[in-house]
Amino acid sequence: AQSVTQPDIHITVSEGASLELRCNYSYGATPYLFWYVQSPGQGLQLLLKYFSGDTLVQGIKGFEAEFKRSQSSFNLRKPSVHWSDAAEYLCTSNNAGNMLTFGGGTRLMVKP
Amino acid sequence: ETGVTQTPRHLVMGMTNKKSLKCEQHLGHNAMYWYKQSAKKPLELMFVYNFKEQTENNSVPSRFSPECPNSSHLFLHLHTLQPEDSALYLCASSQVGGFRDEQYFGPGTRLTVT
């Protein structure tokens, strides 16, 4: 069965610092991969997605992610974090129809 | 209204109560989903409806009963719940048709079972 792993449960960065959130998937073929962000009390908002083609994908709010098949990873990055980026970040994959498999999430805290 | 809406946003119920959660999508999608989000656990898919037909029941206890009267509305009927059912219940929708596109989520209903 496919699985998605986010190794970091919590991450704290200083405002203005760079950010990388890790995501690993396990599946034989190339899955469809997504990153969602969830602010407190809110639903999930799609940041970006990867289906095929260019392995570096750009998303909203200045985020980007890179698909690396050799490492089974789809890490999320942002060059300079803003205080408003503090939230829960969820990596997910879709490789069987419309069924999503979610990672455990990474909670990002931003220090002033 | 746009996107996916859910009501109520917060619900407190006793174990003997019967209540319903409502979800409505204004995106013209043909698939709808219920998810459960508990503390310290990954988001869990509960039910999937494609074209109003239930295509997935992820081993959910019968005290949760979904209903999808049309492609825009989805309900989750709750009865005799347990305290461990306290969680955030999220509804989502997507357009299914040979293309695995992203799902759009509602804000969720925070359920507390006392």
| CA–CA distance, A61 with A48 (Å, rounded to integer) | 10
Using pLDDT thresholds of 50, 70 and 90, give the confidence band for residue A107.
very high
| CA–CA distance, B17 with A74 (Å, rounded to integer) | 43
pLDDT at A16: 97
Residue of B nearest to A9 (CA): B40
Mean pLDDT (whole number) for A42-58: 90
pLDDT at B7: 97
Mean pLDDT (whole number) for A54-63: 94
Mean pLDDT (whole number) for A84-101: 86
Pairing verdict, β B109-113 and B87-94: antiparallel
Does the structure show a pLDDT above 80 at A41?
A: no
Which pair of tokens denotes residue A44? 């999930």
Q: Which of A5-19, A98-112, B39-53 has the lowest mean pLDDT?
A: B39-53
**Shortest Cα–Cα distance, B104 to chain A (Å):** 7
Residues of A in contact with B107 (CB under 8 A): 41-43
A–B interface: beta-carbon pairs under 8 A: 49
- Kindly list the residues of chain B whose beta carbon comes within 8 Å of any beta carbon in chain A: 4, 6, 31, 41-43, 45, 48, 50, 56, 90, 92, 94, 96, 100, 102-108, 110
If we measure between CA atoms, which residue out of A74, A84, A61 comes closest to residue A20?
A74
Residue of A nearest to B58 (CA): A99
pLDDT at A97: 67
Written as one letter, the residue type at A16 is G
Does the structure show a pLDDT above 70 at A6?
A: yes
Phi/psi for B51 (5° steps) reads: 50, 45
Does the structure show a pLDDT above 80 at A2?
A: no
With tokens 């991969």, the residue in question is: A33
Which pair of tokens denotes residue A36? 């969602």
Residue of A nearest to B89 (CA): A43
Contact A43/B at CB under 8 A: yes
- Determine whether the interchain pair B104/A46 forms a contact, defined as Cβ–Cβ distance below 8 Å: yes
Mean pLDDT (whole number) for A68-91: 95
| CA–CA distance, B110 with B12 (Å, rounded to integer) | 8
Higher pLDDT, B17 or A107: A107
Higher pLDDT, A97 or A54: A54
Taking only the tens of pLDDT, chain B with its 114 residues reads: 569 999 999 999 998 889 999 999 999 999 999 999 998 788 899 999 987 777 777 789 999 999 999 989 999 999 999 999 999 999 999 987 645 568 899 999 999 999
3-state secondary structure chain A: CCEEECCCCEEEEECCCCEEECCEEECCCCCEEEEEEECCCCCEEEEEEECCCCCEEECHHHCEEEEEHHHCEEEEEECCCCHHHCEEEEEEEEEECCEEEECCCEEEEEEC
- Among candidates B56, B96, B102 on the partner chain, residue whose Cβ is nearest the Cβ of A49: B102
| CA–CA distance, B43 with B89 (Å, rounded to integer) | 10
